[in-house]
């Protein structure tokens, strides 16, 4: 079998010439923006300064799979004693926003 750039065509029609795609698919997908990782969002949130009495709207939001979170440490909750867990030594607790 010969490697011809012509594809078979129905009788009575001229042969179709196949041309390679001008842009490879990998370059098309690389143009799409990658969502930031949670770790990167936490790093950026740590750099920013908060106002003296921040509200939920002032807190930096962490986005993951179309869900929004804030850091639990930044919330002032009356009577909260804080969590005591081994997780605290390895990461940050997040609270999901439901609005």
Cα–Cα dist 14/18, whole Å:
13
Per-residue confidence (pLDDT) for residue 79, from 0 to 100:
67
Beta strands in the chain (DSSP E): 6-7, 16-17, 62-64, 67-71, 94-97
This prediction has a pTM of 0.56
37-55 pLDDT tens trace: 888 998 988 888 888 888 8
Domain boundaries, the chain: 38-97
Cβ-contact 48, 75 below 8 angstroms: no
């Amino acid at each position: 079998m010969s490697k011809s750039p012509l594809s078979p065509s129905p009788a009575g029609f001229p042969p179709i010439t196949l041309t390679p795609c001008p842009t490879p698919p990998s370059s098309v997908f690389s143009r799409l923006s990658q969502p930031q990782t949670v770790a990167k969002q936490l790093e950026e949130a740590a750099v920013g300064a908060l106002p003296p009495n921040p509200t939920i709207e002032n807190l930096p939001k962490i986005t993951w799979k179309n869900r929004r979170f804030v850091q639990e440490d930044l919330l002032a909750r009356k009577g909260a004693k804080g969590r005591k867990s081994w997780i605290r030594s390895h990461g940050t607790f997040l609270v999901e926003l439901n609005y």
